[in-house]
Chain A
């Protein structure tokens, strides 16, 4: 076991988080596993959560359905709802705030002033840019202005959901409001995006906890998605992958193959071209198969720009990174080539050396025999 002497006593954890120590450590281990961190990281995470100052979080909503927030609230991991409110200091969130109106805006400005350069800005929803951004306003301010104001002194900007990541649903053609993702609207390339519709709450939570524990954001891919969550294709970890490899496909909804749980590729599954950890982390904490493909519907590619909300849901996916396995039957079997000049030379040199050595040896033996006689 790891050294947990640095952790506060059990009763303190219990008082602050409202859960017992065992559940708390289980949660920390879960977060470490989601992040793909080694075992010792649990202790580090547990220590960071209880001892470090809770980071202030400003959470903005723009063109969205609040699905990302709802998804986060419905995480039924032991007492996650309490932890999310206790790990971070949520200083501004339209859905969760008890207060309203000027009071809320004042709280936001106060938090920003107090935690200048230290708070996290989380953006949910796309930002309209057409016609000066008038299509979404909060407290008389356009989304664009509000986001710029909040992002200026933020330690990091996180885009949660596909809308905030690249525009998502509101940006589908003809895109009348000119909506776009946070990074593009701000002209920044360092906005961490956690796409998904909704994104998996644990991916968001793990990113925040990583920031809290190590003081920096996790490694990102080319589209600024955390690699621990979006490093692999859904197809690579899909529970139905064996059916794909064996050539067993559901051909129609409700047919025999569909009822038997065969691969959904023909029904339009975007797993082969979508990066996300859905098959591993699952949704809603209700156990196995609790993710779209597990329930029998093809993946729509909601975490992948250009796939989700762009490609028709039942259109076939393009296979990415799918090189045929080595066991695949070859049309023409490979055969060894002839001897190269170098290998022939090497063998020649060895033969020459052996012959020379043999000759010398014979000579020596003969010389010895002569000497004896």
Chain B
């Protein structure tokens, strides 16, 4: 079958228009997906940078609880000194430092700490990107878990995470994805995440999402410098420390970023100083990409439309060339002579 350029383009355009029409008129799955929200019984962490002293108790406890190896970046093999999240480190305390580093939680000539770890998004990109459901969001507690047995090692989660959290273990023949799973093995036994359990100051605090939201409200309402109580380990552990409240920035990191996260940050310096992505939209990337993909493939409409378009093109092509067939044959016949 032959088809001239004009007709080919016309048919293609018709097909695309039909596909677009199908997408908009299509059944429920083709509607724009909203952000997923945190489950009712979701748990999470609150990390308050103004309380953190940078002692790395969380890092140390995390390694013990998750049976992770030492990561020595300064030589000597004595100290665990991860420079960033890695295949061997699920959490790491990083430092913002400026000039003389004289005052804590100050932008100029100051310093501040930030705890990097999985934020356990309400609507995680890694879960959306994983082709085999090795990354899953626990429907009850909302923890983003990883199943090594299902994982095919494609590393889509590594590329998809906007916070750069999942890490691939490149240095082993049996690699896994390394990421914080909120110590769900400890939670199952009635415990709490190791980092929150070991934090001496209460900078890392465990609680339900609701409890932590209330705690964030309470801290934001404090007068800076006024003595206040700060719970340690969990919101209601009854082991608070008393100290002057810090001067918090307006932003609560993880409150709205890409639909919110279950691990949230309070800090005394702006979050862009910590190398965290700021200015993220409130609509999650997962909802956006899934809307697009599910529109295209909803009810298998797109292949049907494409097929219809091709059939139309073929039909039109055969009609317009029907009269030429004899001439071509003659022509061909003539050539054979």
Number of interface residues of B (CB under 8 A): 38
The reply on A92 being an interface residue by CB < 8 A is no
The reply on A339 being an interface residue by CB < 8 A is no
Q: How many Å lie between the Cα of A331 and that of B96 in the bound state?
A: 5
| Residues of B with C-beta under 8 A to A214 | none
Cβ-defined partner of B111 (8 Å) among A244, A324, A327, A329: A324
Q: Which one, A50-58, A132-140, A161-169, A245-253, is touching chain B?
A: A245-253
The reply on B204 being an interface residue by CB < 8 A is no
The reply on B264 being an interface residue by CB < 8 A is no
The reply on B275 being an interface residue by CB < 8 A is yes
The reply on A328 being an interface residue by CB < 8 A is yes
Instruction: Report the minimal beta-carbon distance from A316 to chain B, rounded to whole angstroms.
Output: 5
Considering the complex of A and B, which 8 residue pairs feature the smallest CB-CB distances, nearest first?
A247-B60, A266-B200, A247-B56, A331-B94, A247-B57, A331-B275, A332-B275, A331-B274
| Residues of B with C-beta under 8 A to A266 | 57, 200
Whether B59 contacts A247 by the Cβ 8 Å rule is: yes
- Could you pull out 9 A-B pairs where Cβ atoms are within 8 angstroms? A247-B55, A247-B58, A247-B60, A266-B200, A316-B241, A318-B243, A327-B81, A331-B273, A331-B274
Task: Please name the residue on chain B nearest to A263 by beta carbon.
Answer: B55
Number of interface residues of A (CB under 8 A): 22
| Residues of A with C-beta under 8 A to B200 | 249, 251, 265-266, 316
Task: Please name the residue on chain B nearest to A269 by beta carbon.
Answer: B200
Q: How many Å lie between the Cα of A159 and that of B128 in the bound state?
A: 70
The reply on A319 being an interface residue by CB < 8 A is yes
Whether A246 contacts B79 by the Cβ 8 Å rule is: yes
Whether B81 contacts A329 by the Cβ 8 Å rule is: yes
Instruction: Report the minimal beta-carbon distance from A262 to chain B, rounded to whole angstroms.
Output: 10
The reply on B148 being an interface residue by CB < 8 A is no
The reply on B231 being an interface residue by CB < 8 A is no
| Residues of A with C-beta under 8 A to B275 | 331-332
| Residues of B with C-beta under 8 A to A328 | 54, 94-95, 97
Cβ-defined partner of B95 (8 Å) among A244, A251, A330: A330
Q: How many Å lie between the Cα of A244 and that of B200 in the bound state?
A: 11
Q: How many Å lie between the Cα of A181 and that of B134 in the bound state?
A: 68
| Residues of A with C-beta under 8 A to B197 | 251
Q: Could you give, for residues 302-334 of chain A, a 1 whenever the CB lies within 8 Å of some chain B CB and a 0 otherwise?
A: 000000000000011011001110011111100
Given A324-B95, A324-B97, A331-B96; A244-B55 close (CB under 8 Å)? yes
Whether A324 contacts B201 by the Cβ 8 Å rule is: no
| Residues of B with C-beta under 8 A to A331 | 94-96, 114, 273-276
Q: Could you give, for residues 84-113 of chain B, a 1 whenever the CB lies within 8 Å of some chain A CB and a 0 otherwise?
A: 100000001111110001100000000101
Which residue among A244, A248, A265, A324 has the maximum number of chain B CB atoms within 10 Å of its CB?
Answer: A324
Whether B83 contacts A323 by the Cβ 8 Å rule is: no
Task: Please name the residue on chain A nearest to B81 by beta carbon.
Answer: A327
The reply on B198 being an interface residue by CB < 8 A is yes
Cβ-defined partner of A329 (8 Å) among B55, B83, B241: B83
Q: How many Å lie between the Cα of A316 and that of B274 in the bound state?
A: 26
Interface residues of B (CB under 8 A from A): 53-61, 74, 79-84, 92-97, 101-102, 111, 113-114, 197-198, 200-201, 241-243, 273-276
Whether B54 contacts A324 by the Cβ 8 Å rule is: yes
Q: How many Å lie between the Cα of A151 and that of B155 in the bound state?
A: 79
| Residues of A with C-beta under 8 A to B93 | 329
Q: How many Å lie between the Cα of A316 and that of B74 in the bound state?
A: 30
Task: Please name the residue on chain A nearest to B61 by beta carbon.
Answer: A247
Chain A stretch 227-268: residues in CB contact (< 8 A) with chain B: 244-249, 251, 265-266
| Residues of B with C-beta under 8 A to A330 | 94-97
| Residues of A with C-beta under 8 A to B81 | 327, 329
Q: How many Å lie between the Cα of A41 and that of B229 in the bound state?
A: 52
Whether B242 contacts A323 by the Cβ 8 Å rule is: no
| Residues of B with C-beta under 8 A to A249 | 55, 57, 198, 200
Which residue among B53, B94, B197, B273 has the maximum number of chain A CB atoms within 10 Å of its CB?
Answer: B53
For the A-B complex with A315-B242, A328-B94, A331-B274 known, give 7 more contacts whose Cβ atoms are closer than 8 Å.
A249-B57, A315-B241, A316-B201, A324-B54, A328-B95, A330-B94, A331-B273
Q: How many Å lie between the Cα of A248 and that of B199 in the bound state?
A: 10
Instruction: Report the minimal beta-carbon distance from B70 to chain A, rounded to whole angstroms.
Output: 10
Instruction: Report the minimal beta-carbon distance from A168 to chain B, rounded to whole angstroms.
Output: 23
Cβ-defined partner of B92 (8 Å) among A245, A251, A329: A329
Q: How many Å lie between the Cα of A247 and that of B197 in the bound state?
A: 13
Q: How many Å lie between the Cα of A244 and that of B60 in the bound state?
A: 11
Instruction: Report the minimal beta-carbon distance from A299 to chain B, rounded to whole angstroms.
Output: 15
Cβ-defined partner of B55 (8 Å) among A251, A265, A332: A265
Q: How many Å lie between the Cα of A332 and that of B111 in the bound state?
A: 12
Cβ-defined partner of A323 (8 Å) among B92, B101, B114, B243: B101
Q: How many Å lie between the Cα of A323 and that of B93 in the bound state?
A: 15
Whether A322 contacts B92 by the Cβ 8 Å rule is: no
Q: How many Å lie between the Cα of A245 and that of B57 in the bound state?
A: 9
Q: How many Å lie between the Cα of A328 and that of B93 in the bound state?
A: 9
| Residues of B with C-beta under 8 A to A315 | 241-242
Q: Could you give, for residues 286-311 of chain A, a 1 whenever the CB lies within 8 Å of some chain B CB and a 0 otherwise?
A: 00000000000000000000000000
Whether A246 contacts B111 by the Cβ 8 Å rule is: no
| Residues of A with C-beta under 8 A to B97 | 324, 328, 330
Q: How many Å lie between the Cα of A318 and that of B241 in the bound state?
A: 12
| Residues of B with C-beta under 8 A to A319 | 53
Instruction: Report the minimal beta-carbon distance from B74 to chain A, rounded to whole angstroms.
Output: 5
Q: How many Å lie between the Cα of A245 and that of B82 in the bound state?
A: 14
Q: How many Å lie between the Cα of A330 and that of B54 in the bound state?
A: 12
Task: Please name the residue on chain A nearest to B63 by beta carbon.
Answer: A247
Instruction: Report the minimal beta-carbon distance from B113 to chain A, rounded to whole angstroms.
Output: 8
Whether A246 contacts B54 by the Cβ 8 Å rule is: no
| Residues of A with C-beta under 8 A to B273 | 331-332
Whether A324 contacts B101 by the Cβ 8 Å rule is: yes
| Residues of A with C-beta under 8 A to B79 | 245-246
Given A316-B201, A323-B111; A248-B57 close (CB under 8 Å)? yes
Q: How many Å lie between the Cα of A244 and that of B53 in the bound state?
A: 11
Whether A248 contacts B114 by the Cβ 8 Å rule is: no
